[in-house]
Structure 1
Amino acid sequence: MDIVNTHQSEAWNGYEGRHWADNHERYNTLVSGLSGPIFEAAAIEAHHRVLDVGCGAGQTTREAARRAKVGHAVGVDLSRPMLERARATAEAEGITNVTFGQGDAQVYPFPEQHFDVAISRGGIMYFADPVTAFANIGSALKPGGTLVFGCGRESDDDQTGAVWAAMGRHVPLPDPAEDDAPGPMTFRDADAITAILTKAGYTGITAEAITTEAVLGADPDDAADFVFGMGPVRFWIRDADPAAVVRAQDAVEAALVPFTAAGAVTLRGAGWLFSAVRG
């Protein structure tokens, strides 16, 4: 298995990947607001072959397989723990037209001109060389094939900033303006993303601003525990004073109280829905 995004591989095959696999239902709920827009734009037909990039625990791959009922869906991800969960869930649900492969989509040996559609629900922000990665994904699409993905967006409508503001008053967090590592913070500018896709050979590129709802937990205490268990947060606070971490978690819990109703902590999120055509 060729891997060029080695740091991401270490993270997704270490604690971060295990945390996602063990809490896959919670993470699916967290990002589920992107699913509807992605599948509507992807317009998967019964005979289609679908590629799911950064498929994680496979929820979107399984949904793609259900829609491509006489076709096939392939999910690719770096994370062995998440793929094990994906395969087990697909088997339990009796979905047979789905396959999962472990690998780095930037260099993965996809079959040439094989897929009708490629999708990704937040799994395309982690490439060291995004132009090369998107070109490789494009090579797997048939001419005229569609790429559809969702990612984050900077917006005053995004209420998740309340979490990071509360946390950042007590522990050091990365500065988005200075953080150029692959990830959500560096993949929010629509013009920059469009330029990447254009260089990678795509045409017909569109970016639609969408608003989603993210459920973090059943109550503020539960939601704060979940946030502080996330891989990136654990990485950010790894050297912080333990007492400061406790204060930060208490602050996040307090910040989430206004967003709590009907047995759920729900925050409004902002995202981009991108569509592009293989040239």
Structure 2
Amino acid sequence: MDNTVNADMVEFWNGVGGQKWLRFQDNMKESLKPFGHMAMDAASISTGEQVIDVGCGCGDTTFEIARRVGPGGQVLGVDISKSLLAEATGRATSAGQETVTFENADAQTHPFSPNAFDVVFSQFGVMFFGHPAGAFKNLRSALKSGGRVAFATWQPAKNNEWITLSLDVVAKHLPLPAPSGPEEPGPLSFGDTERVKKILTKAGFSDIGMEGVSTSFIAGPNLDYAVEFLTQLGPAGRAITNSEANEETKSRIAGDMRDALGAYETDRGVEIGSAIWVVTARN
């Protein structure tokens, strides 16, 4: 795998990022499933198709796509994280999945088979590209004529209460890092619609669509889990980790986070407002 293009992301997802994701994998699978399914539906993935799953992680989306394409289709899941792919590969082997292949690769530069795939899909994976226009140009080369791309990505932080609430809590105890620039890879880098359209147009795509969806994000099945999740992952978790806060400060943050989340506890878990874009385009 060529690690030079996205070295920081490769290091993060093969280190602390991958470790934390595995820790919360079971909840993340259920919390993110509705968003991924929206993008799959928008792509109209059907039986017999060949699909690339970009940033496939532990394979949850890959296996769902495999179910949709059936025994006559094939799904290639790619990810830069070896630890997440090890989990995905183990699950595929245990389930006897024959229509799924996983590869440790950076989708920005990986030499995909040209003109071989019907769909490029991603659930919150493409925002981490270091050079997004080049990455999508590379992915477009793998698509057949008329092939589709569909992905889910977060809207700006201001539209995602699960982000603003958790950062507001952290800000009471720690100085927050400066927000990432609009060109920097990260979970919110595809929040601006004009930027996304410009990237896809530059890569050669047409018929670009962006549907905004506002719904709830389940941060955990209960308060204790949600507090741990939001203080470990996401923008708030990253701020805490990067600050190297001591245990006393972390404990105070956790207490305040629990108080802030109390009003969001429901029978389904801790549900907080969120907003995504479902993006589609055609080769």
Do they fold alike, i.e. is TM over 0.5?
yes
1:194-235 residue CA offsets vs partner (Å, 9 max, x unmatched): 000000100000000012322111222221112222276554
Deviates more, 1:269-278 or 1:36-45: 36-45
Which residue pairs with 1:224 in the alignment?
227
Which of 190, 195, 211 lines up with 2:193 in the alignment? 190
Query: Over aligned residue pairs, what C-alpha RMSD do you find?
Result: 1.8
Residue 110 of structure 1: CA displacement?
A: 0.6
| 1:9 correspondence with 2:10 | yes
Which residue pairs with 1:239 in the alignment?
243
Residue 155 of structure 1: CA displacement?
A: 7.1
Which residue pairs with 2:166 in the alignment?
163
CA distance in 2, matches of 1:37, 1:91: 27
Residue 153 of structure 1: CA displacement?
A: 0.7
1:160-208 residue CA offsets vs partner (Å, 9 max, x unmatched): 1212211222122233365753112222001110000000100000000
Which residue pairs with 2:207 in the alignment?
204
Aligned positions of 1:30-179 closer than 5 A: 30-69=31-70, 70-154=72-156, 158-160=160-162, 161-176=164-179, 178=181
Which of 258, 261, 264 lines up with 2:266 in the alignment? 261
Scaled by the length of structure 1, the TM-score of the pair is 0.93
Residue 247 of structure 1: CA displacement?
A: 1.9
Q: Identity percentage over the alignment?
A: 34
**Residue 143 of structure 1: SS of its match in structure 2?**
strand
Deviates more, 1:155-164 or 1:244-253: 155-164
Q: Tell me, yes or no, if the aligned pair for 1:176 and 1:185 is still in contact at 8 Å.
A: no
Q: Tell me, yes or no, if the aligned pair for 1:172 and 1:240 is still in contact at 8 Å.
A: no
Residue 53 of structure 1: CA displacement?
A: 0.5
Q: Tell me, yes or no, if the aligned pair for 2:170 and 2:236 is still in contact at 8 Å.
A: no
**What is the letter of the counterpart of residue 220 of structure 1?**
L
Scaled by the length of structure 2, the TM-score of the pair is 0.92
**What is the letter of the counterpart of residue 225 of structure 1?**
E
**What is the letter of the counterpart of residue 222 of structure 1?**
Y
Unaligned runs of 5+ in 2: none
**Residue 56 of structure 2: SS of its match in structure 1?**
coil
Residue 22 of structure 1: CA displacement?
A: 3.5
Q: CA 1:130/1:36 → structure 2, altered by over 3 Å: closer, same or farther?
A: same
Residue 262 of structure 1: CA displacement?
A: 1.4
After superposing on structure 2, the runs of 4+ consecutive aligned residues of structure 1 that deviate more than 6 Å are: none
Residue 249 of structure 1: CA displacement?
A: 1.9
Deviates more, 1:56-65 or 1:257-266: 257-266
Unaligned runs of 5+ in 1: none
Deviates more, 1:196-205 or 1:25-34: 25-34
1:106-155 residue CA offsets vs partner (Å, 9 max, x unmatched): 10111101100110000000111111001001111111100000001137
